[in-house]
Structures are given as structure tokens and as C-alpha cells.
Amino acid sequence: MADLPSGLLEACVVVGAPSDKLRETYQLHQQSKLNELPLLEAEVLQVHAPPFVSKETHSSQPIGPAFSRVQRRKSFIKKKKRDRAAEVLPNGETTNRTEASSATEDISVPKDLDLIALPHLCFPGGLQLANEQKEDSYHFLVFTDLFGNRTHGVVVQYYRAVQSCQESAVQNGHRWSSSKSRLYSPFAVCIISKFPYYNALRDCLSCLLVQLRPARQADFEETIKEFSAKLSLVPLPPPGQLHVSFSLRPLQLVLPSREDQDSPVIDIDLHLPLLCFSHTTLLQVLSCILQEQRLVLFSADWARLTLVAESLLLYLQPLSWQQPYVPVLSSGMLDFLMAPTAFLMGCHISHFEEVAAETEELILVNIDDGIIQSSWAETIDLPAIPLAAAESFTSRAECLQLHYDLELCHLGAGTDVNALRSQRRDWQTRLNTQIQNISLELVVNIFRGVQDFLNHEHRVFNSEEFLRTREPSDQTFYKKVLETHIFHSFLRDRLNRKRDTFSRMEQNTHNLAHRNRAMTELSRRPPMSNLSRPGYRSYASPEDRLSRKLGASLPNLMQPPHDTVSAISSNRPASLRKMTPDTGLKLPQKPVKVFRLPEFPPPLAYHYVQNYYSDMVAALGKAISATPPDEAALLARYHYLRGLVNTVSNKRLDALEDFQSLYKTDSDIFPSQMVKSLVDSMSESERRQADTRPELKRLISRVKRDQERACNGNGPEEGAVKRFQLPKKYMQLEEFVKCIQESGIVKDQGTIHRLFDALTVGHQKQVDPELFRVFYTIWKETEAEAQEVCLPASVLEHIEPSECVFKLSSSVKTSRGVGKIAMTQRRLFLLTDGRPGYVEVAQYRDLEEVKVSSAPFLLLRIPSLKLRVRARKEAFEANLKTETELWNLMVKEMWAGRNMADQHKDPQYMQQALTNALLMDAVVGSLQNSKAIYAASKLAHFDRIKMEVPMMVPKTTAETLKHKINPSLELAAPQPVDVLLYTPGQLWVSVSGGKVMVFDASSWSLTHTCHVGNARLNCMLGVDKDQVWMGSEDSVIYIISMLAMVCNRQLTEHRAEVTGLALDTDKYSQKVAYSCSAEGSIMVWDVSTLQMKKNFRLSCDRLQSVSSCNTTLWCCSRDNIMEVWRNGSVKHRLNLPEQQKGSTTTFSSILLLPEREELWSVCLDSGEVCIWHIKDTSKPFLRVVLQDCTGCHCLIKVKNQVWVGGVGRSSTKGKVYILDTERYQVLKELHGHNDKVTALCSAEDRYVLSGAGKHDGKIAIWKVE
């Protein structure tokens, strides 16, 4: 039997005093022999766990129609005196209507439930009898198994008179009653659930007590069993915007859903810690948790312990506490506090002094008084949370409205209890959301930028480099946190590219934070890791720096050079300004729907339960029918719920159909494990039926394929996180490349190979670990020294806001005064001695000559650096002495890099030149011998190119080319650009392996990266304002939401790789999409419902694209082009032109010009563009020969031009040809890539973007005339 899906109830346990002890105490009490009422030992009296009803099927498999994971159970053997038959009479005698006896009874309980400890946790202060009726009391429990999985319990303690615990006693024909001898015993009912539905389960228990109070003892067990059975019928809501509601008279209860698959359930009042602690104290507590201290919470209220502990851990999401966690310790469990590891525990305030005196190195948190202290002092001597993050949190938290009473001021007295509860719940949900946003911002502000110091290829975190970027006052805090399990788990998620709330908020707030940082750190050199970060623009020339008007859909590439970002309007730090609680932190929330379950049936009768499930399926069916197709997320959740219900009611095929629909509409919440269990439990007849239904057959094969992938995956590697360590042995080239990449110095393999050559000049080709240590130390020290350079305002006004000093010489005499020569990414300037002043030396682009010279000094000649600058008569000369040769190399490399960047409109050349120059500096510093300069010259990459190869870019290309983007910037080697797509304001780039990068089209900076499958993408299509479809080699069409930037929908009907996508409207003006796959299938999709309306198959050799034109489709395959009626029949077939037959030439792309009734085609191994008349397809009426072209890969129409991407014959470099559609002539031939042009797209007919193959991997942006 497969595991059934988890429902609300795991088990319901009743705990109380043993009947024999209770009877004995009662008799002593009646006889007035007790001076005070004793504490009794609690024991488990009842356990109720699903399934509550079952039936044998023909396949001899039990069906458990209740949501539960607890089908595998153990027996809890308990000897239980059957005392229900025994009656206590006033004189203390016992009637033996049925002989009281001991019996052994098997109680089935959930596998992981510890019934030994449970009684102590249900009565953490002990089981105390009472002389009078006491108020009901609730508290909350958390159980953790050996694997760290948590289960949650809600306990109510309520008192019953001991007389009513026995059968009603009758004496002399009258009911006996004596108020003065009355005795009350507490019972505890504990509901255990896999999910922390604390508020909902507390309300469930409140409803139970309404039934229990008037119930007779004989009905006591049955009432609780029936209550448990009802809760076992409640399905848990799927993650997202659908809650589940059910009625337990007299209350209507709601189970809130999780925000997404990785988020926790929140059914708790998150503002409780804000009511208990000041903001300063709260931040201290959170700091202690992050540093994994040994924390103990104290309160006089058992319930408060768990609620506050849970809230504190939720504040730190998505970081998760990895250490022992027991929020409620009973009096007998205080020895747990002696554990040597970090922990978070809670106990009663009465134990405060005892714990503080007897246990060392504890952090003691008094919830009731809102104070925190240590067991060795009244103050906390631990590093505080970084100041900027703490100030921002405090500022936002001060704006929160924490008091519900203020919401009620304008309202009258409500008379409907459920309406009042709903009103309060809505207020609490809004407040919880604000608190989540504020606390998430705190976590993001603390750990922002961690991603920049991770090497995904080698799974390494460069902690030293990360620490260098933190404020000096915060270093101690980070050093402690970086060693914790909680941070290690967080790092592992970053390395696995987990798309959680942290990564989303960091991405959303990145641009603002980066801009603020640029305003406050003008003079400091950023680490080289920052330079390679997407969107970092400090290396761009003023001409290259694009429009920062983020509202614009396209950049203003002709922007004046000195148009910089306007300064922040106020000098006051942003974190200190008054602000609304979570402004700017959250995307608009979609409205939440509530699905109301049918009224509960008699829950212990099998056929009633089955009818209940049928009613639920019918209600979900109505909800699905009433939901419009554009609300795909809501539809997915209804399918999830219906699949769940069909699973537990044993309708496996119906359940699979629902899960197939779910997979298509939102694969993010697809319950893979549940579906796998469902498939494994299918009988032979069910499998045969599933095989006759294509969609189910595909789903089953996909589940099996994913299962095999999971088995073959590199499991242990997923969890490993290494810290960068200096090598301890000699390194050959391969190990050296890995070590340099792990260190974060540079990732480009070509540069690393040149560095290896430099460090091994004159000896065996291996790097000494000691030499590497010296090199690495010098690199880091130089970086740190440059970061400490603080330029005065009089100097800053002369340089660009984004400029940083990367190298500073020693103080030298120059032809323009004495001072230090400063090297930025844009220029050289002299920082004069004495009162620091600015003397411009040269911008790299203005240099005309750089050479080593010598200046006379007495009878000596001192080596000097001589620079000739355009438009200046006098040369600049600096007596750099022993530094001269190094500065000569560095300046020449920067000069060559600047020229390359200007000519190719590619700022990355400047960044590479800067890296090369800084590596030269570190190499010379580490070698310290006569060959040091020769070794450093190995890194003069651009200077060598300048000497060996003419760098001139053709004039036409230079005029048309506006900018270049490098999607492979952070990778070790370039990746081919497979597909380009422009949607308003965004450029979508597909590189190898299903990786999709999204660039902001106003600044061409990277905004998002996502992975869709693991295979290459062949095509992309913007379908509407929120959908981009992507066809993959793995035969799936992935659908990305542009608003949420997630891929949670897939179309899986194709059986071969998807090669083409097109959009059109059908005869009813409905938007439809066409997709084609390599084996010839074409499918027609309803865009609004994502349902396939039609499909047909063409006979051809690899179908490559589909286009829609009037009433027909045009389909391009390798060997022919087909005009096809919409019913699938071929109207015309165009074959390869005669001249090209018999060779390896195949069609690569076609372009329809309907207004001209023309079809343009290009071939993979031909430099011709063939132009056909649509009405006469026997042969092309014109061929346009492209000069020096051996093949074409793509073509697009822009205005009255056709742009063709291909590869040159003489240089095998990528070329773009621009043809005039009127005169059929080549207007321009553009040289922009070092590899074939593989993709083209147009941005609003103002710019064309071209992407190239793996030897280039860049995107060129061309201006359209």
C-alpha cells in the first residue's frame, strides 16, 4: 500500500491520571486523610490515529480513506485496568457489576510518536488534582525526530469532577451529590499534526470541549474518536492562494496555505515577540540564535514559550535552526540543559534561578519581563547584528500597528462569532505579512552579497573574501555566524541555486542597494569579484554607460557622457528615514480563495466517508468549472486538492488525471513523491487503462524518468560546501586552474593559463604552494590597501562616480610635481603630496606613446616612465625607479584594453585589461627576481594582440555597433547564445543547458537568471503580457511568468525536441499558439487554457520552424519548406534550389513577408539568400549572394530591411548582413563576433541584437538606420 497523503491529524492522544491512583486518591480525600492534594504521574489513556475506517479491495490492499502518513504503525502495549465497570460509592466500596481486571491492549500509534515522553509534555508542571473547577489551559509542543523532521502538538488541559469520571453513582434510589467532598482531575487532549496549525488546532480543541462537557464518561472515548476521525478527513491546502475551511460546531475553521513549496505554514500570531521585547532586545535574541548559542526561554505561561520560540525562528526564514529544539521542557527534563551543544529550549520561570546558578554559558531569555542575560553575567557580551541592518529593522518595526483594539475603534459590537473571528484573522494575516517582510529584509541585509563569493562549479565559499567586504565593526559577528550549521545550510541552498524568499528579495532590492553603495563608497576599490558581478558598471566608459531611466523600455544609447545618476535627495541615511512597515519589499499579493469542505459525515462508517469524498470531488469540480482559464494558479490548486481526495478514496486514475492537469498549470507544487507512490500502488488493470490514455501514460513515464534521475544524481555533492583553502602541494596546470577559480581571483581559463605560465617562468611547469601563498597574499593585500585609499572631495570632483583607485605607486618625483600615481579603470592621475591635490596625467584612450626612459640625477640615470598624451605638447615623466618596468607593462595593457573596448563597444575588454594589470602587479611582487618583469609580460594579453594583429574595426561596423553584452561574464569559458527574445523592457537570452538570463533593456544589466530543464532551448516566444514560452530539446515547452520570474507550467505533449513556436488568432479571434517538434508534429494550443486544440504530423527531415500567414502555416524542415492548411494537409512544398541539391546544404531559416507576398530563405552551408513568390513556389525568383559568407543561420525583418546572421568564409568569424527589401541589395556587412551568428532579435525596430556561438558567446547591439 502506498503512503497516503498527509492530512491535518496524525494522532489524537488523551493523557490523564491512572484510574487506580485516581480511585485511591479519591477515597483518601473522601476520608479526609489528605493534608494536600498530591501530584500524580500522568499516563496515556487513549490513542486515536487514522485510518479509522477501511475496506478490503479485490487486490487485497487495504484502503484507508483518511489523509494520513501513518499507515506504517507500531504497537504500543499498555496494561490498562478496566475500571469503567467499577463504581466508587460514597462509603468507598466498589461495586463489581463487571469484574475489574487487567488486560493487555494493542494501541496503534504513529511510527515516530514517543508515548513515553508525551505525558510529561502534556503536563509539564505535573498532574495536579484540584478541589475546584479550573479554567481550560492550552499549550503547544514541538517534537523532533532523529532526522530533524518536526511534528507539532496542541494540548488542552481541562478538569472533570472525579465522580463524573466514574459511572453515575446511585445510593438508596437517589443521585448522590456532595459539594464539599468534590475532587477534580485534569485530562489532556493532544492533537498531533505534521504542520504547525497552532491556531486552527487550538480552535478544534475548543469545539471538542463543547461536546465533552455534557458527555457521560461512557461516551467520552467515542466522542474523542469521532472528533479525531473528522479531523483525519481534512485535506491540507496546497502551497499558494487557496485556503481550506471546515465547520466544527460552533466554529468555522480555516487552514491557511503556505506561501510556496519551500515556505513554512504560518498559523500563529507573529507579533508576540514584538509585544514581549523591545526592538534592541529582540535583535539581541536573534543575534544569539544566528550565532547558535545555548538559549533558554522562560515564562510563567507554557503556551507563550512555544509561540515566541516559533515566531523567532520564523523571523529568520529561510535560515533554519539545525540544533536541538525543545520549546517546552517539563520539570523532569531540566537535565536537557546540560547538553554541550547549541540548543533552543524553554522552561517555566520558576526554574530561572536554579538554571542560572547550576548551568554555565547559557543565554537566558525572560519572555515575561522582556529581558535577556547570560548565566554568568547580567549583560550579553556577544557581537550584535550589523548596525545598518539593525537600524533598518528597528525603523520599520516602529511603524507596525500591533494592537488590534485600535482597529476596532470605529466598529460596533459584532453579533456573529465567525464574522468577528474572520475579521480578526484578516487583520492578523496582514500584520504577519508585514512582519515577515521586515524580518526577511533584516536577513537579506545581513547576508546580502554571499552569492558573489560562491564558486558553483567547485562548490566553494570564499569566506575570507566575504569578510573583507563587511564593515570592520561587524567582523566579529560574521566570523561567529560563518561557523554555524544554520549558515552552512543557508550556503548549501545558495549553491543549489534555491529560488526562495531570500533570493527573490535580494534580487528585487539589489539595484537600489547597489546605487546607494555607489554613492557612499566612491573612493574605495571594490573587490575584483564585484567587477565581474552582472550589472556592475564601474568599468564602463561614459559613452558606454547607458540610460539609467529604468522606466524606459529601451536605452538611450546617445546619452551625454556625463549624465550620471542624480544624488540621493537627503543626506540622512536611507535606513534612518521614517518609512511604512514594508514599503517596497513585497510584490502585490494575489487574492486568496477559501475552499469550504462539505459538512462532516458520521466519520466511522466507510460508505458515509466515501460519499463525503464524492461530495468533495463534486464541489472541487464545480470550483474548477467556475474558475476562468487565466487564473491558472488557482486552477492548479483545485486540481491538487481533487487529486489528493481521489488518491485517498482509491480513484487512482482520476487522481493521476488531476495531477497531470496540475503539472501543466503549475509544476512548482507537483507532489512528485505522492504521485510516485500512487503509480507504484496501481494494479495491473489500472496500468492497462492508464496506457490507453496518452496523457496518463506520459505522466507515468515522466515520474519514472525523474525517479531514475534522482537515483543517478550526485546526492552527496548536493550537500557539500567547501571553504577555500590555500594549496599544500605542488600544482600542475589543471589543479592550478581549479585553485584560482575557487579563490575567486579570476574565472576565465585563458587568463589563468597565462598566469600559470607567468608563475612557472624558468622552471618546471608546476606552481610551488609557498609561491602561491605569497601571490595570493599580495593580491589580497593590494586589494585591501586600495580599499583604504580615501580621496578628498577636491579630488573626487575630478573623477567619475563609478571610478575606483586600483593601484597606487609610492611617492615619486614627476614632471608635474611630487606625489603618488593613481591608476583607476579609466585614467591615471597624480595624487600630490602635502595637501592632497589632483593632477590629471592621462585618460587611457588619449595616450599616444608609453615607454621606459631615464631621467638624469647627478651622475646617474634613474629609470622613468614616459607618457605622450594626445593634444598635449609636453610628455609626462615619472621617476618610478624600480617600479618603472611594472608600470610600463600595466599602463600599456590598460591602454590596449581601452582601445579594444572603444572599438568593439565592449566594456568587458577594459575589465579584462584591469585584471591582467593587477595580476602583473601580484606576479612581480611574489617572484622578486630578475625574471619577474618577463614573467609579468606573459599577462600582457591585449598589448600583445595590439602588436600582433591590427585592431581596426571596419568603419561601417563601428558606426552601427552600439554596445556588447557578455552573458558568460562569470563563467570559466564562453557559452553559445542559442536564442534571443525581446519583450517590452527585457531581453531574454538562452545559453546552454536550459539557462535563461534576463537583462533590463534600459541598462542592459542582468536582472534574473533561471533554469528551465537541463537541455538546450531551441526557441522562445512572448505569448502575452505575462507568458514567455520556451521550446526545449527535452521535448517540453516551458512557460515562464514574466511577473514572478518563475517557470511553473509546462506543456509536455511533444514526443521529440521542440524546434519552433508561433502565435496567431483563430477564426473565432481567440489567441492560439503553434509549436512544432523535430519529428514533424505540429500542435495548436489555446493560449488562455493551455489546452491542445489540434495536432497533426508532417513527413519531412527534421522540422525546424513554423510560421502563420493568413489561412495557412509555413513550415521549414531541413530538406524542404511546406505551406500547410490548418487542418494539416500540405498545400505546397518548396524544395532546395537545384544548384544546392546533392551537397550537405540544408534550409536553416525562413522569413515571411506577407505584405510583399514573399518568402526569404537561407541555408546552413550556403552564402545565398533565396527569395520566393508565395504564389509561385516552383523556384526562387531571386538569389542574393552574400560576399565572403559560407553559411547563414538566422534572419529577421526590421523596418524595410532584412538582417541575416551567418559566418564568414575567410575568417570564420560571425557576420551580420543587412539587405534592402525593396532593391534586394546588401546595404551593410557587419563584423561583430568571433564565431558564427546564431540568433537575432529586434528591439522595437530601434536596435537589433545578435548572439554568437561558443567561441564568442557575446551579444552585440546594433543601431537600426
* Euclidean distance between CA atoms 163 and 257, whole angstroms: 44
Average pLDDT rounded to a whole number, residues 1225-1239: 91
Question: Mind listing the pLDDT tens digit for each residue in 276-312?
Answer: 999 999 999 999 999 999 999 999 999 999 999 999 9
Residue 550's pLDDT is: 29
* Euclidean distance between CA atoms 1237 and 1259, whole angstroms: 9
* Euclidean distance between CA atoms 636 and 659, whole angstroms: 9
Residues above pLDDT 90, as percent of the chain:
34
CA distances from 597 to 246, 620, 634, 637 (A): 5, 9, 17, 14
* Euclidean distance between CA atoms 624 and 636, whole angstroms: 9
Question: Mind listing the pLDDT tens digit for each residue in 534-557?
Answer: 443 333 333 333 332 223 344 545
Encode burial over 960-983: b for 16+ CB neighbours within 10 A, e otherwise.
bbbbbbbbbbbbbebbbbbbbbbb
Asked if residue 343 lies in contact with residue 309, where contact means CB atoms within 8 angstroms, the answer is no
Cα-based angle 456, 459, 461 (whole degrees, multiple of 5): 95
Residues above pLDDT 70, as percent of the chain:
84
C-alpha cell at 637: 490548486
Residue 573's pLDDT is: 40
Cα-based angle 746, 750, 756 (whole degrees, multiple of 5): 75
Residue 265's pLDDT is: 92
**Residue at 1011: amino acid letter:** H
* Euclidean distance between CA atoms 1265 and 1218, whole angstroms: 10
Residue 544's pLDDT is: 37
Question: Mind listing the pLDDT tens digit for each residue in 475-495?
Answer: 999 999 999 999 999 998 888
Asked if residue 1193 lies in contact with residue 1215, where contact means CB atoms within 8 angstroms, the answer is no
C-alpha cell at 1256: 564568442
C-alpha cell at 909: 575588454
Instruction: Give the CA diameter of the chain.
Output: 135
SS3 category, 580: coil
Q: Which long-range contacts (CB under 8 A, 24 or more apart) does 730-738 make?
A: 730/766, 730/767, 730/768, 730/769, 731/766, 731/767, 731/769, 731/772, 732/765, 732/766, 733/765, 736/767, 737/972, 738/458
C-alpha cell at 661: 492537469
* Euclidean distance between CA atoms 644 and 610, whole angstroms: 14
Calculate helix-pair angle for 198-212, 302-315, nearest 10 degrees: 160
Average pLDDT rounded to a whole number, residues 1055-1080: 86
Calculate helix-pair angle for 387-397, 417-447, nearest 10 degrees: 160
Q: Which of 163-172, 636-645, 870-879, 929-938 has the lowest mean pLDDT?
A: 163-172
Residue 379: CB atoms within 10 A of its CB come to 9
Asked if residue 130 lies in contact with residue 159, where contact means CB atoms within 8 angstroms, the answer is yes
Residue found under cell 553603495 = 517
* Euclidean distance between CA atoms 51 and 63, whole angstroms: 9
* Euclidean distance between CA atoms 596 and 200, whole angstroms: 15
Q: Please report the sign of the dihedral spanned by the C-alpha atoms of residue 339, residue 340, residue 345, residue 351.
A: positive
CA distances from 29 to 37, 90, 336, 536 (A): 8, 11, 36, 80
Residue 112: CB atoms within 10 A of its CB come to 17
Q: Which long-range contacts (CB under 8 A, 24 or more apart) does 582-586 make?
A: 582/396, 582/433, 582/434, 582/437, 582/438, 582/441, 584/509, 584/512, 585/437, 585/438, 585/440, 585/441, 585/505, 585/508, 585/509, 586/433, 586/437
Q: How much of the chain is helix, strand and coil, in % rounded to 5?
A: 35, 30, 40
Residue 259's pLDDT is: 87
pTM: 0.79
Asked if residue 233 lies in contact with residue 14, where contact means CB atoms within 8 angstroms, the answer is no
Smallest CA-to-CA distance from 898 within 840, 844, 964, 851 is with: 844
* Euclidean distance between CA atoms 107 and 85, whole angstroms: 20
Smallest CA-to-CA distance from 250 within 295, 206, 190, 184 is with: 206
Using a 10 angstrom Cβ sphere, with 0-12 exposed, 13-18 middle and 19 or more buried, the burial of residue 578 is exposed
* Euclidean distance between CA atoms 664 and 642, whole angstroms: 15
* Euclidean distance between CA atoms 844 and 803, whole angstroms: 13
* Euclidean distance between CA atoms 178 and 493, whole angstroms: 65
SS3 category, 537: coil
Residue 112's pLDDT is: 59
Residue 154's pLDDT is: 95
Residue 607: CB atoms within 10 A of its CB come to 11
Residue 454 has pLDDT above 90, yes or no: no
Asked if residue 210 lies in contact with residue 250, where contact means CB atoms within 8 angstroms, the answer is yes
Question: Mind listing the pLDDT tens digit for each residue in 1108-1167?
Answer: 887 889 999 988 889 898 888 888 888 877 655 556 678 899 999 988 888 999 998 888
Residue 563's pLDDT is: 40
What is the DSSP code (8-state) at residue 482? T
Asked if residue 1034 lies in contact with residue 1057, where contact means CB atoms within 8 angstroms, the answer is yes
What is the DSSP code (8-state) at residue 587? P
Asked if residue 1056 lies in contact with residue 1035, where contact means CB atoms within 8 angstroms, the answer is yes
Beta strands in 484-624 (DSSP E): 593-596
Asked if residue 849 lies in contact with residue 867, where contact means CB atoms within 8 angstroms, the answer is yes
* Euclidean distance between CA atoms 6 and 1097, whole angstroms: 43
Residue found under cell 486544440 = 1093
Question: Mind listing the pLDDT tens digit for each residue in 352-400?
Answer: 888 888 777 889 999 999 999 887 777 777 899 999 999 999 999 998 8
* Euclidean distance between CA atoms 748 and 755, whole angstroms: 11
Question: Mind listing the pLDDT tens digit for each residue in 231-268?
Answer: 999 999 999 889 999 998 888 999 999 988 888 999 99
Residue 215's pLDDT is: 79
C-alpha cell at 460: 566553494
* Euclidean distance between CA atoms 231 and 253, whole angstroms: 11
Encode burial over 907-927: b for 16+ CB neighbours within 10 A, e otherwise.
bbbbbbbbbbbbbbbbbbbbb
C-alpha cell at 336: 536537557
Smallest CA-to-CA distance from 1259 within 1213, 1239, 968, 1250 is with: 1250
Asked if residue 40 lies in contact with residue 21, where contact means CB atoms within 8 angstroms, the answer is yes
C-alpha cell at 450: 554571499
pLDDT band at 561 (very low <50, low <70, confident <90, very high): very low
Question: Mind listing the pLDDT tens digit for each residue in 956-966?
Answer: 888 899 988 98
CA distances from 598 to 230, 591, 1094 (A): 12, 23, 38
Residue 434's pLDDT is: 92
Average pLDDT rounded to a whole number, residues 207-221: 85
Asked if residue 939 lies in contact with residue 896, where contact means CB atoms within 8 angstroms, the answer is no
Chain centroid to Cα 693, Å, comes to 35
* Euclidean distance between CA atoms 672 and 1071, whole angstroms: 32
Residue 902 has pLDDT above 60, yes or no: yes
Length of the chain: 1265
Contacts of 415 (CB under 8 A, 6+ apart): none
Question: Mind listing the pLDDT tens digit for each residue in 140-152?
Answer: 999 988 778 889 9
C-alpha cell at 1141: 541539391
**Residue at 55: amino acid letter:** K
Average pLDDT rounded to a whole number, residues 672-683: 86
Residue 740 has pLDDT above 50, yes or no: yes
